[in-house]
Structure 1
Amino acid sequence: MFLDKAHSVRKPNKRLRKIFRVIYFVVSLAKKVIANGKNTQFLPRFSCGPSYVAIDFQAIDDVDDKHRHVCLFDIDQKALSEMVREKNFNSLCQYGGVKEVATILETNMNVGITAKESDIKYRIDVFGSNTYEKPPAKSFLSFVFEAFKDTTIIILLVCAVFSLGFGIKQHGPTEGWYDGGSIIVAVILVVVVSAISNFKQSRQFDKLSDESSNLMKVGVVRKGHRQPISIFEVVVGDIVCLKIGDQVPADGLFLDGHSLKVDESSMTGESDYVEVNETDNPFLLSGTMVTDGYGHMLVTSVGMNTAWGVMMSSISRDSDEQTPLQARLNKLTSYIGKVGLLVAFLVLVVLLIRYFTGNTEDKHGNREFNYGKTKANDVMNAVVRIVAAAVTIVVVAIPEGLPLAVTLTLAYSMKRMMVENSMVRKLSACETMGSATTICTDKTGTLTLNQMKVTEFWLGKEVMTDKASLKIAPNVLEMLHEGVGLNTTGEVYRQLSTSIPEISGSPTESAILSWVVFDLAMDIDELKQGHKILQVEAFNSEKKRSGVLTRMDGKKIHAHWKGAAEMILSMCSNYYTKNGNNIPMNDEERTQFEMIIKDMAAKCLRCIAFGYKEVTDESVEVSRKIEETGLTLLGLVGLKDPSRPGVRAAVQACRDAGVDVKMITGDNIFTAKAIAIESGIVKPNEDLNNAVVEGVTFRNYSDEERMEKINTIRVMARSSPSDKLLMVKCLKRKGHVVAVTGDGTNDAPALKEADIGLSMGIQGTEVAKQSSDIVILDDNFTSVVTVLKWGRCVYNNIQKFIQFQLTVNVAALVINFVAAISSGEVPLTAVQLLWVNLIMDTLGALALATEQPTNDLMTKQPVGRTEPLITKIMWRNLIAQALYQITVLLILEFKGSTIFGVNKNVKDTLVFNSFVLCQVFNEFTARKMEEKNIFKGIVKNKLFLGIIGMTVVLQVVMVEFLKKFADTERLNWGQWVACIVIAAMSWPIGWLVKFIPVSSKQFLSLPTQ
């Protein structure tokens, strides 16, 4: 049974191998007996290398004739992991090299591992999964504890405890607990509701974070073909395909590739790029980024066994990220809290003076304090009650619901944006996007579908039609096969089960490979067998071309270049005709080729050229330098990438919203113009000389010229990543809030510099995604507009809640202050004020923070970088509502008993009930700050209606059934109708106020920055 796992020994000899073979035979017979007559055989399998001998067994089930491994391999995972992490080349040699490690790990270097679920599961069981252990998330009790740490809550609880003690001592346990006990219950209710809300939002953020992490994809080779999988699904033995911009998903060893360089700064802190090769540094560490070249990697360690896993285990899940808006709101909260603290202190002083001067009365109309006659317990009880009332005013005055509103609206928006193909990586991006004034967008894949197809092919000055391979001279066809099949990062897989090859790679590479395979009849396997690649220059956004140096079996060395047509053309001095003639290129013919390129670009085609040169100097093989001059033009291809449906409408929506859209592309100026006109970025009658510029021209402008022309530029063609970065910097200096889309590694600086970086989820490299704030999952510009709409919605919802909460703050402070000075008591008890606090903070935030975006948001101008949170419109609305509430409630406070003919207790209940209902009706008004129809779209927000309904039901319970707890009296139908009518007047007042014309600019400057 000990042979259920394979065993390894070093330095095997022939005698030892014979012993193992005998053991195989004996064990196989034993296994067959153990099978108890089942038609199953366990066949031993033997493999060995210079430094190991491995034994394993295969189970062969005659019923379904399916092979499965009973055991795979036995290798010291810890030693293997340490070898890669420490880059110990000597240890690798002891294993027998990379190929022997692949053999031990049961990996075929050509086809990868099997994709059977049993094989994958076994590898996970043996080596672990590619996931990282994280500290446990905060528990619900921790949120409760944090809520209890609030200073005002602690003071309230202390006051409640004293009140509870004095009450029980004075009135006995049956009646004496109501005052203090009700405050304790109310405080606990507020704390628990707040903790539940924060706990649920924390869980939601964690869930969104896990979902976003799971979207990170990597290409692996399994069962002979390349497939994208989540990085968390990578297992030991996988062959991972790496290209520029990818993040290495696990620790591993270099198998093959060219010019592969990685940025290990995340692991070592050094900014130098490290070259990875099979001779002296085949080690790849997880978390590093590929900066140049491409290659394949054998995964040797995953998850916690990797270098990155050790680092990840120490990173806390808890995020202390505070968005700019939350920081501004915290300052606003602090400002208002100081005002509330001042009011509370004045109320405390006034109440204490009035009490000790004998100017206050109890519920029966008797003087509360009489010097020398009032008992000490009664004095202490009264003082505690007064202090509790003052502290409760502070609780109500401090709008702690503002940061909560931001959290709620961000969490809700993030969840909805994920459904609409936008994954938010940084919370601040949600709110900042609402202020965007300019969007700098890529062309390929964002404005277009990124579904490339070769539609034109020019050989010499002649366009080739169908069955081009039959019309082209063999020598030219051979060079075209070399120029495409060897100078590519794409791959062609031919499976035995089908005759149709499977082509993978970037859309451009796939399109060109498909064209040469199907139209020019290229056999990729035969081509690679007859050539050796000496050097590779990988494509990047700076060079806009890629090159390869190859040597044929016949010792001929060829240099091939492929890339932007005008750049390759400038490197050529000859060209081929379809008959195979190599003709020198004169100036007139060069101009003709330039016209061909221009005409293809005018048709919105991406033009790619191929050039080659036969190198006779064999010293080139030693220097591995790819010739860049004196090339022969092999041909020109035009690739069609259709515009995305709806992109023109999306661009127009941005224009209507006051957001300028600029296209920054690496394509030539003619293609850029055609796409820009087609997508609506540039109008056909617009002055194209000012609207369209090339990158080299833009960078050569003086600083004054750039700042002068930056607003009129709509398109920048043939741009480099540095040009894109320069554009972003200039726009920000001009005062714009800039959003930038990008998908390449070289876009990272611009994505970081922008106020909002938007990377592409499909074609975007991992470097671009890590540098961005939001990932557009479908690479669609329409989704960028959706992000813009949601960003404005977030900002708008928070402004709604600010307007709603400040109305309550102003009304509560003024009412309590005036009543305390005039009558010596506050109309709202501590429990009632805590209930109001619960309504406006947690429930109010939840109701107003979940409003969905409307098309009206896209008809307004962006708020920009310096627009204040509280605008004239908001001040107009909240002042009108607050003045109405103050007026009505003070009338009820001083004349309510006379108007309704009721006693003091009922009058206080009317004040409390009217105040709460005013907030309920004001929530409807706050939904629409400018729209006169406050009910527009209300049926779409079921949560809002549900919260309003729940608030009303709970208020009825408070008034009618919790007399002792809430210090209320039951109201009759007439009194209820009166309270509702008083509160409902908020609606016509809100409607009339909106006829007062004001701009949305700043009215009163509060410290919001």
Structure 2
Amino acid sequence: MPITMPSSTAAHHELTSHEVVLRLGADPHRGLTDQKAAERLARFGPNSLPVARTAGLAVRIVRQFHHPLIYVLIAAGAVTAALGEYVDSAVIFGVVAINALVGFIQESKAEAALEGLRSMVRTQAKVIRDGRRRTVLSDELVPGDLVLLEAGDKVPADLRIIRATELWVDESALTGESTPTVKDDGVLPGAISVADRRNMAYSGTLVTTGSGAGLVVGTGAETELGEIHRLVGAAETLDTPLTKKLAEFSKILTVGILGLAALTFGVGLLRGQDAVETFTAAIALAVGAIPEGLPAAVTITLAIGVARMARRRAVIRRLPAVETLGGTTVICTDKTGTLTENQMTVTGVWTPEARFEVTGLGYAPEGSVHDVHDNAAAIDSHPALRWSLLGGAACNDAALTEHEGRWDVVGDPTEGAMLVAAAKAGLGPGQVAQVLPRRATIPFSSERQYMATLHGDATSPVSSGQVVLVKGAVERVLSLCAYQLDGKGVAAPVDRAAVLAAAAELAGQGLRVLATAMRPVGGTNEFGPTDFDERLLSDRMVLTGLQAMVDPPRAAAAAAVAACHTAGIAVKMITGDHAATATAIAGRVGLLDPHEPVEGMVLTGADLAALSSEELPEAVERASVFARVSPEQKLRLVEALQARGHVVAMTGDGVNDAPALRQAGIGVAMGLGGTEVAKDAADMVLTDDDFATVEAAVEEGRGVFDNLTKFIAWTLPTNIGEGLVIFAAIVFGAALPILPTQILWINMTTAVALGLMLAFEPKEAGIMARPPRAPDQPLLTRALMVRILLVSSLLVAGSWWLFHWELAAGASLPEARTAALNLFVLVEAVYLFSCRSLTRSVWRIGFFSNRWLIVGVLAQLVGQLAITYVPAMNTIFDTAPISGDVWLRILMIALAAGLVVAVDKRLRRSRTLGNQHPGVETIGP
């Protein structure tokens, strides 16, 4: 019969397997014929994700130059070339070329996210065709194909399960669910999330245990993975706050420079001055006003930030992302592996005689078992505890592994946690296997909800030589038990009410609870490997205890969340786990206040789906925990926060996180447990998967933006001052105090030797105690502009006075210009120390705390002596040697300028603190 490819696989989980077979025109036993498979492959296309069309090489290269600041730099290079300063022109064009190359490389890397998604579905698949089992490339699968699944297989397409035997699938990369999901062929309601569709297996997920068979219901772009691929491709790659602000700054700077140069030329012509000389002066003004060192300073400052973050285990993939972190107002974080260890851990054991605590986190068998009075529990003195730990470790199919000091679990994380708990009590896997060798197994299934094993030989601690062990869901194991083990190791009638109350109390703490039971066998041959059957267990087991476990919060998570809150950054947990689990972890790390109601603070995917577009932003703003959310909803959450003006950092590790990672202001992927898709879509990768590293990266990002602001506050007064000095000379019909070549010397050398040293400036104290910058705050605030104009005025007044003083005193024109040139540089050097903090005195932050700045100042002074006294440089730059008394006047003017800035800083700080705390005496900068 003809079939149609549905636009969504949603309908298939609502149908019985027979209805799906009819709908797809499939055969649940013999599979498709080769002819049908070929016809459908031609009709529906290969089972692969579409390749996105990208711009051509030439367009991508040209695009790197499409930026106002680049236009300014190109103009600066052309001007310097026209002036014959070919070396300086080559340096400027070199900066342009390097910026373009970096941008081109980063853009190419960003597109790798889509390729990572495509690679996830390139695998082999086991199918039944024409009644025979075959292995084909996953690309060749078509709707209606009968696919076989076994442990270790990657699911090659979206499948409707029609047969399953203890089939468990790890869907964490797709749904965020931290534990494997059991699969069966039952029928499910229509309105159910992807994470809860037990009768579906999705492309890109991994079969952990069991086996099964399923019919292909979605291939290529029509799979859940294909929908994520579409979302990744559609997600807008936003400009960072830094690039936006630099673009605005560059536009204003471009208009200002051209306007002032044109005004200068016009004034000169009106005064009757020579047109060529006036044009030369206008060019000199433009050269002086262009901050040639700004692009290099931005790149180097960001690069230093990258290096600092790398030392704190955060690897940056895009340079501007460094600064974006500093402006973050909301962090959307995954739960599993970021706020938590992603390692299930038994934290307590309840037995009929007592409660015990288990210390140590994760899979490393390091810790101890002790009672509530903090006394080490000797397991030989607590029979129920001993048998509970033995039961958890022996009735177990997982294995512990250790590689380069990192412990991990092969198998189910819950079983791994029970292995580790026993090892902490001295019952390591090797010892357990030796004492209780397994003879038969009743495997866990979703129907029976427990696992049972038969153990024993001559070395068994049980007198009969045989013992049955059971572990599983509390209610199910309890139904098998007629007795419980007391403190003396004697079987007493089970107290069901007490057991259920204890289990409910532990579950209320967000813990997963499993029960353990045992039964000594009266005769060595009562059970054999072939006749060990679950029917023989009913009402014959002895309850030994309850083991409570959790994926524990990381040690530094709570402190990192608190630090973010102090810094004015909202933290929101977005996870695929159940709401109860997410709520418990959120309470432990400080995302929820245990004394306040959680209504409205915890939202599920179903809650989000019920919200209108108008209601969503406000609800998202208020809530702190989002559970059982889909990939589309993660993306919707990020967009809702951005619509409210937030700069969003999004963490994630799975395929389902990729669209939101790309849409966020900064996407943060997990380096240890993250998928390649998530890493390729992200701007930053954490090498330790720890939320505390995100907080540390935010701190570094704030420091980077501070240092960029300090550089701009330092460099602009020189550029403005140089331009205004030229303008004043034209207006008054006077000689130029500094020449274009001298301006280039000042701009290029001071930017490298002085300004770039601010990139090494340590972070200021209290950087994480202040609120984040408002996203719409301009790069140059009003206070900063006032500071820049103040210093510019000091430079213009000082250089103009000194230049004409020297001429009046009989100095030659080259000597007077040399004095003005050195004054510019020395004032910059003094002002540089003030710029180390825009609010505090250099003495308060430590005069020698940035040794690179001292080195830079000394290097610049050597350069100034060279341009003043070396004959060759006198010839090139039209300078001349000056006497000691001239240097004294230069120094006095520079110190006076520094004093004026310090007084202004003190007054501004006093007014700010006074407004914040009226009547409180304030301290100076």
TM-score by length of 1: 0.56
Equivalent residues in 2 for 1:648-663, closer than 5 Å:
648-663=558-573
Q: 1:340 aligns with which of 230, 238, 257?
A: 257
Q: Is 2:662 aligned against 1:760?
A: no
On the 8 A contact 1:429/1:774 being kept in 2, the answer is: yes
Which residue does 1:599 correspond to in 2? 505
Q: Deviations over 1:228-259 (max 9, x none)?
A: xxxxxxxxxxxxxxxxx999699876799xxx
On the 8 A contact 1:276/1:284 being kept in 2, the answer is: no
Q: Is 2:284 aligned against 1:395?
A: no
Q: Is 2:752 aligned against 1:835?
A: no
On the 8 A contact 2:74/2:96 being kept in 1, the answer is: no
Which residue does 1:423 correspond to in 2? 315
Q: Which amino acid aligns with 1:907?
A: A
Q: Deviations over 1:94-149 (max 9, x none)?
A: xxxxxxxxxxxxxxxxxxxxxxxxxxxxxxxxxxxxxxxx9xxx9xxx9xxx9999
Query: For the structure 1 residues 341 and 548, does the alpha-carbon distance in structure 2 shift closer, same or farther, using more than 3 Å as the test?
Result: farther
Which residue does 1:794 correspond to in 2? 704
Q: Which amino acid aligns with 2:262?
A: F
Aligned-partner Cα distance in 1 for 2:882–2:297: 33
Query: For the structure 1 residues 148 and 668, does the alpha-carbon distance in structure 2 shift closer, same or farther, using more than 3 Å as the test?
Result: closer
Which residue does 1:43 correspond to in 2? none
On the 8 A contact 2:750/2:860 being kept in 1, the answer is: no
Q: Secondary structure at the match of 1:859?
A: coil
Which residue does 2:887 correspond to in 1? 976
Single out whichever of 837-846 and 416-425 deviates more from structure 2: 837-846
On the 8 A contact 1:503/1:513 being kept in 2, the answer is: no
Query: For the structure 1 residues 196 and 758, does the alpha-carbon distance in structure 2 shift closer, same or farther, using more than 3 Å as the test?
Result: closer
Aligned-partner Cα distance in 2 for 1:654–1:475: 41
Aligned-partner Cα distance in 2 for 1:436–1:966: 46
1:593 Cα deviation after fit:
7.2
Which residue does 2:480 correspond to in 1? 576
Q: Is 2:821 aligned against 1:821?
A: no
Query: For the structure 1 residues 937 and 880, does the alpha-carbon distance in structure 2 shift closer, same or farther, using more than 3 Å as the test?
Result: same
1:993 Cα deviation after fit:
1.5
Query: For the structure 1 residues 797 and 896, does the alpha-carbon distance in structure 2 shift closer, same or farther, using more than 3 Å as the test?
Result: same
Q: Which amino acid aligns with 2:310?
A: M
1:980 Cα deviation after fit:
1.6
Single out whichever of 337-346 and 445-454 deviates more from structure 2: 445-454
1:602 Cα deviation after fit:
5.8
Aligned-partner Cα distance in 2 for 1:917–1:550: 83
Which residue does 1:404 correspond to in 2? 296
Which residue does 1:363 correspond to in 2? none
Q: Which amino acid aligns with 1:924?
A: F
Aligned-partner Cα distance in 1 for 2:593–2:857: 48
Query: For the structure 1 residues 977 and 204, does the alpha-carbon distance in structure 2 shift closer, same or farther, using more than 3 Å as the test?
Result: farther
On the 8 A contact 1:421/1:776 being kept in 2, the answer is: yes
Aligned-partner Cα distance in 2 for 1:443–1:953: 55
Q: 2:346 aligns with which of 438, 443, 454?
A: 454
Q: Is 2:645 aligned against 1:739?
A: no
Q: 1:988 aligns with which of 899, 902, 924?
A: 899
1:973 Cα deviation after fit:
1.0
1:457 Cα deviation after fit:
5.2
On the 8 A contact 2:76/2:92 being kept in 1, the answer is: no
Equivalent residues in 2 for 1:239-254, closer than 5 Å:
none
1:422 Cα deviation after fit:
0.5
Q: Return 5+ residue gaps in structure 2 as ranges.
A: 1-33, 35-56, 128-136, 158-172, 175-202, 210-236, 357-376, 455-469, 486-494, 518-540, 914-925
Single out whichever of 439-448 and 903-912 deviates more from structure 2: 439-448
Q: Deviations over 1:565-613 (max 9, x none)?
A: 9xx789x7983327699xxxxxxx99977754442256664446899xx
On the 8 A contact 1:273/1:291 being kept in 2, the answer is: no
Q: Secondary structure at the match of 1:454?
A: strand
1:775 Cα deviation after fit:
1.6
On the 8 A contact 2:710/2:758 being kept in 1, the answer is: yes
1:763 Cα deviation after fit:
2.7
Aligned-partner Cα distance in 1 for 2:385–2:778: 68
Equivalent residues in 2 for 1:266-345, closer than 5 Å:
291-294=204-207, 323-345=240-262
Aligned-partner Cα distance in 2 for 1:508–1:153: 65
Which residue does 1:313 correspond to in 2? none
Q: Deviations over 1:358-391 (max 9, x none)?
A: x68xxxxxxxxxxxxxxxxxxxxx93x6544432
Q: Which amino acid aligns with 1:866?
A: D
Aligned-partner Cα distance in 2 for 1:720–1:401: 46
Q: Which amino acid aligns with 1:423?
A: V
1:827 Cα deviation after fit:
1.8
On the 8 A contact 1:472/1:578 being kept in 2, the answer is: no
Q: Is 2:831 aligned against 1:922?
A: yes
Query: For the structure 1 residues 251 and 844, does the alpha-carbon distance in structure 2 shift closer, same or farther, using more than 3 Å as the test?
Result: farther
Query: For the structure 1 residues 917 and 659, does the alpha-carbon distance in structure 2 shift closer, same or farther, using more than 3 Å as the test?
Result: same
Q: Secondary structure at the match of 1:739?
A: strand
Query: For the structure 1 residues 652 and 345, does the alpha-carbon distance in structure 2 shift closer, same or farther, using more than 3 Å as the test?
Result: same
Which residue does 1:26 correspond to in 2? none
On the 8 A contact 1:193/1:842 being kept in 2, the answer is: no
Aligned-partner Cα distance in 2 for 1:334–1:701: 44
Cα RMSD, aligned residues only: 5.8
Aligned-partner Cα distance in 1 for 2:141–2:795: 61
Query: For the structure 1 residues 493 and 391, does the alpha-carbon distance in structure 2 shift closer, same or farther, using more than 3 Å as the test?
Result: closer
Q: Which amino acid aligns with 2:328?
A: A
Query: For the structure 1 residues 966 and 502, does the alpha-carbon distance in structure 2 shift closer, same or farther, using more than 3 Å as the test?
Result: closer
Q: 2:863 aligns with which of 944, 947, 954?
A: 954
Q: Secondary structure at the match of 1:957?
A: helix
1:922 Cα deviation after fit:
2.1
Q: Which amino acid aligns with 2:206?
A: G
Question: What number of residue pairs does the alignment pair up?
Answer: 687
Structure with larger RCO (C-alpha < 8 A, sep 6+): 2
1:975 Cα deviation after fit:
0.6
Percent of aligned pairs sharing the same letter: 27
Which residue does 1:157 correspond to in 2? 81
1:819 Cα deviation after fit:
0.5
Q: Return 5+ residue gaps in structure 1 as ranges.
A: 1-88, 90-133, 161-183, 217-244, 257-263, 297-319, 361-381, 496-500, 538-544, 553-561, 582-588, 612-631, 1001-1009
Which residue does 1:191 correspond to in 2? 90
1:958 Cα deviation after fit:
0.8
Q: Which amino acid aligns with 2:250?
A: T
On the 8 A contact 2:394/2:433 being kept in 1, the answer is: yes
Query: For the structure 1 residues 405 and 475, does the alpha-carbon distance in structure 2 shift closer, same or farther, using more than 3 Å as the test?
Result: closer
1:838 Cα deviation after fit:
0.6
Query: For the structure 1 residues 276 and 269, does the alpha-carbon distance in structure 2 shift closer, same or farther, using more than 3 Å as the test?
Result: closer
TM-score by length of 2: 0.61
Query: For the structure 1 residues 726 and 596, does the alpha-carbon distance in structure 2 shift closer, same or farther, using more than 3 Å as the test?
Result: farther
1:972 Cα deviation after fit:
0.9
On the 8 A contact 1:762/1:777 being kept in 2, the answer is: yes
Query: For the structure 1 residues 343 and 440, does the alpha-carbon distance in structure 2 shift closer, same or farther, using more than 3 Å as the test?
Result: closer
Q: Which amino acid aligns with 2:745?
A: W
Q: Which amino acid aligns with 1:829?
A: L
Q: Secondary structure at the match of 1:427?
A: coil
Q: Which amino acid aligns with 2:882?
A: L
Which residue does 2:361 correspond to in 1? none
Q: Secondary structure at the match of 1:740?
A: strand
Q: Which amino acid aligns with 1:416?
A: R
Which residue does 1:511 correspond to in 2? 417
Q: Deviations over 1:931-986 (max 9, x none)?
A: 23366245332332222221221112111222222211211111111112212223
Aligned-partner Cα distance in 1 for 2:835–2:770: 18
Query: For the structure 1 residues 321 and 909, does the alpha-carbon distance in structure 2 shift closer, same or farther, using more than 3 Å as the test?
Result: farther
Q: Which amino acid aligns with 2:78?
A: I
Q: Which amino acid aligns with 1:740?
A: M
Equivalent residues in 2 for 1:541-940, closer than 5 Å:
575-577=479-481, 595-601=501-507, 605-607=511-513, 637-640=547-550, 643-664=553-574, 675-683=585-593, 686-690=595-599, 692-693=601-602, 695=604, 698-699=607-608, 702-703=611-612, 707-716=617-626, 727-898=637-808, 900-933=809-842, 936-940=845-849
Aligned-partner Cα distance in 2 for 1:274–1:756: 42
Aligned-partner Cα distance in 1 for 2:788–2:402: 70
1:502 Cα deviation after fit:
8.5
Aligned-partner Cα distance in 1 for 2:147–2:280: 69
